[in-house]
Structure 1
Amino acid sequence: MKKVVLLVVIALIAALVLGRWMAADSGYVLVIRDDFSMDTTLGFVVLAAIVSAVALVVLTLLANTAWNMFEPVRATRRWKQAVAARRLRTGFLQLVDGELEKSERLLVAAGEDGDWPLLAWLLAAEAAQEQDNIEASQRYLEKAGGDQRGRLVAGLMKARFALDDGYPDQARQELKVLADMAPRNKRILRTYAQVLESQKDWPALCDLMPRLKRAFGDGEARRERRAWLALLQETARKPGFNDADSRREELRKLWKDVPVQLKNDPAMVARYTGFLAQLGGGKGALNLVREQLDSQWDDRLPPVLEAIDDVSPDDLLQVLERWLEQRPGNAAVLITAGRVALKARLWGKAQGFFEAAANSSQSATALAELSRLYQALGDSSKAMKTFEKRLDKLQGELPALPLPDKSL
């Protein structure tokens, strides 16, 4: 647009200069040829030359347009393209209406001759897939993928069709190639992540998470959390590792790779320290739990101490009692303290912790532990009463449903 305006301005300036020059002296032109002679002004000659040039350009454009319209090869091509466009529109409408066979025939014809072969082949693949004609569907997608612009969408459709047909491994292979080709394509990344999650391939999903987070930001935080929690559990319970020391070291190595923001997640810390304690790393688990609770309290962390066996119960009780001084009546700490006291065979102390937990929160877990301890101590009456309280607690959490009436 700027160039056009500039040319117009230049033409106007040139016309103004030429007009002033002609007004000052119109000039004289004499043409003599044999017996023919013509005399006129220079302005008329210039005007005639300009009109002739414009007429020549217009006639050339009109002749070119007429040739394009009536030249046999181009006319035939335009006719084929018009027919293909009509077939494409009709085929799409037939596909929407469920006329799959007719739709496929029209779309294949449009793909052979039309201006939009990519769209035609993709729609034809959809029509073939709806008819369970997998071979034809794959053939059409191959044709669509032959176009550089269609490689990604054709591959994505292949993956979707493979998932629909129950071949997740095939879909995963296709999506991996596409994800490497287009690392920022959100649709490909999300579909690939869904396949990995459905296959429970947590290491691969955790490796993919940085790209997912760059593409979606915090929208993938929940998926990232699920993946790392599952990977921690898978590593701690991996079959074939009978040596607890080897599993513990592998777990510690994995923890170094956990993203920083997840290392401060209470559920993640509880999962890691719980497995670490079960595998003989109780001291490290205790230190990590204490550090986490010092910065941010969460009731999911104190129960980790129940699984620690390489630290004496007396030392654990001292830690728990300090927490109770800061949070008196906390049910999670009281129940954990009661269980640790049982491991130390301090029956009276355990009973006191369980009773305090039951009185402060009426926790079903605290009532169950207390009932079991009363029974073991030989106090069947208290055990039964506590058990009935637990039943009442559980019944209060049950939905209201019709029950049989014994009087009928």
Structure 2
Amino acid sequence: MKKVALLIVIALVAALALGRWMASDSGYVLVIRDDFSLDTTLGFVVLAALLAVVAIVVLTLLGNAAWNVLEPVRATRRWKKAVAARRLRSGLLQLVDGEQEKAERLLVAAGEDGDWPLLAWLLAAEAAQEQENVEASQRYLENASSDRRGQLVAGLMKARFALDDGYPEQARQELKVLADLAPRNKRILRTYAEVLESQKDWPALCALMPRLKRAFGEGKESRRERRAWLALLQETARKPGFNDADSRREELRKLWKDVPVHLKNDPAMVARYTGFLAQLGGGKGALNLVREQLTQQWDDRLPPVLEAIDDMSPDDLLQVLEGWLAERPGNAAVLITAGRVALKARLWGKAQGFFEAAANSSQSATALAELSRLYQALGDTSKAQKAFERRLQQLDGELPALPMPEKSL
């Protein structure tokens, strides 16, 4: 816009200068050719030349426009494009109305001749998919992907169709290629993550998490990340192919090094890891990690890990648990764990005391069940029955109110 204004200003200045020059001296032009002679002023000659130039330009533009209208090839092409545009609109409306067969015919024709072939092929693929014509749908998507702008959306539709048809592995392969082509495309990444999670491919999902977090932010994918790592820990601890606990334990320790730092402070993650570590003979390391975590932040999910430790003396574990009870008297999680460890040490009286304290402090169903089982084993059936009845009463309060048969007299 500034350039146009500058040109106008320059033209006005030039015209003003030319006008003043012509006014001061109009000049004289004499043209003689054989018997023809033209006698006029220089200003008239300049004006006539300008008018001639303008006339040539206008006639050229009009002639070009007329040629474009009347030229057979271009007229045919314009007519075809207009027809294709009408077919595209009609095909879309037919697709919305559920007339997939008519929509497919119209959209295919629009894709072959129209100005919007990408949109036409994508819609035609949708129409073919609705008719369960997989071969035609894939062919239309191939046509769409031949357009550089349509490669991603066509690939995403292929993946969606594969999922709808029950072929998640095919969808996964397609999404992996797309994720490499467009590492920041949120829709592709989200769909890819959902497929990996549905297939329970936890290593691949954990490897994808950094890209997901960059695309969606730390908070939005935190739950998925936590689920994936928890499942991967469990899968590694129970991985087939390792016949001895030492191999499983070492594999688990290697994996723990790869766990993100913020998840290593998550109580559920620590409880899952230390629980498996204890089951695989790494009781001392599990206990140290539980202690370290509880020092930073107490969580009732961590003390029960000590129940799984079999490579340490139960008496030593009881000392640790009694130390925690001194700091948190009446804590049901610690009391139940202490009772179970006392059973391992064959300290029946201590175990009974811990279970009774847990049952009295929190009416824990677990504590009542353990207490009933212990009483029964000790031969005190009366107390075992009472503990069992207390547990039933507790469960009864959680049951919905429903009609019950009346007692017969």
Is 1:360 the counterpart of 2:361? The answer is: yes
Q: CA deviation at 1:194?
A: 0.8
CA distance in structure 2 between the aligned counterparts of 1:93 and 1:70, rounded to whole angstroms? 33
Structure 2 CA distance for partners of 1:78 and 1:319, relative to 1, 3 Å:
same
Give deviations 1:231-288, integer Å, cap 9, x for gaps: 1000001122121000000000001111111111111111000000000001111111
Match of 1:157 in 2: 157
Secondary structure at the counterpart of residue 300 of structure 1: coil
Match of 1:262 in 2: 263
Q: Which moved more, 1:35-44 or 1:175-184?
A: 35-44
**What are the equivalent positions in structure 2 for 1:242-257 lying under 5 Å apart?**
242-257=243-258
Match of 1:235 in 2: 236
Match of 2:391 in 1: 390
**What are the equivalent positions in structure 2 for 1:196-207 lying under 5 Å apart?**
196-207=196-207
Match of 2:225 in 1: 224
Give deviations 1:167-219, integer Å, cap 9, x for gaps: 11111111111111111111111111111111111111111111111111121
Give the alignment's TM-score, normalised by structure 2.
0.95
Query: What amino acid sits opposite 1:210 in the alignment?
Result: P
CA distance in structure 1 between the aligned counterparts of 2:13 and 2:28, rounded to whole angstroms? 24
Match of 1:403 in 2: 404
**What are the equivalent positions in structure 2 for 1:359-378 lying under 5 Å apart?**
359-378=360-379
CA distance in structure 2 between the aligned counterparts of 1:107 and 1:29, rounded to whole angstroms? 69
Match of 2:133 in 1: 133
Structure 2 CA distance for partners of 1:21 and 1:297, relative to 1, 3 Å:
farther
Match of 1:110 in 2: 110
Structure 2 CA distance for partners of 1:313 and 1:12, relative to 1, 3 Å:
farther
CA distance in structure 1 between the aligned counterparts of 2:228 and 2:281, rounded to whole angstroms? 24
Q: CA deviation at 1:23?
A: 4.1
CA distance in structure 1 between the aligned counterparts of 2:315 and 2:24, rounded to whole angstroms? 118
Match of 2:21 in 1: 21
CA distance in structure 1 between the aligned counterparts of 2:86 and 2:406, rounded to whole angstroms? 72
Structure 2 CA distance for partners of 1:69 and 1:247, relative to 1, 3 Å:
same
CA distance in structure 2 between the aligned counterparts of 1:109 and 1:396, rounded to whole angstroms? 68
Q: CA deviation at 1:294?
A: 0.8
Q: Which moved more, 1:318-327 or 1:62-71?
A: 318-327
Q: Which moved more, 1:9-18 or 1:344-353?
A: 9-18
**What are the equivalent positions in structure 2 for 1:187-336 lying under 5 Å apart?**
187-217=187-217, 218-336=219-337
CA distance in structure 1 between the aligned counterparts of 2:339 and 2:270, rounded to whole angstroms? 22
Give the alignment's TM-score, normalised by structure 1.
0.96
CA distance in structure 1 between the aligned counterparts of 2:372 and 2:264, rounded to whole angstroms? 37
CA distance in structure 2 between the aligned counterparts of 1:223 and 1:51, rounded to whole angstroms? 76
Query: What amino acid sits opposite 2:164 in the alignment?
Result: D
CA distance in structure 2 between the aligned counterparts of 1:258 and 1:139, rounded to whole angstroms? 43
* Matched positions, count: 408
Structure 2 CA distance for partners of 1:24 and 1:399, relative to 1, 3 Å:
farther
CA-based RMSD: 1.7
Give deviations 1:117-151, integer Å, cap 9, x for gaps: 11111111111111111111111111111111111
Q: CA deviation at 1:15?
A: 3.0
Q: CA deviation at 1:386?
A: 1.3
Query: What amino acid sits opposite 1:334 in the alignment?
Result: L
Match of 1:186 in 2: 186
Query: What amino acid sits opposite 1:230 in the alignment?
Result: A
**What are the equivalent positions in structure 2 for 1:24-63 lying under 5 Å apart?**
24-63=24-63
Structure 2 CA distance for partners of 1:47 and 1:406, relative to 1, 3 Å:
farther
**What are the equivalent positions in structure 2 for 1:48-127 lying under 5 Å apart?**
48-127=48-127
CA distance in structure 1 between the aligned counterparts of 2:400 and 2:49, rounded to whole angstroms? 99
CA distance in structure 2 between the aligned counterparts of 1:360 and 1:144, rounded to whole angstroms? 68
Q: Which moved more, 1:276-285 or 1:107-116?
A: 107-116
Query: What amino acid sits opposite 1:276 in the alignment?
Result: L
Structure 2 CA distance for partners of 1:12 and 1:259, relative to 1, 3 Å:
farther
Instruction: Name the % identity.
Output: 88
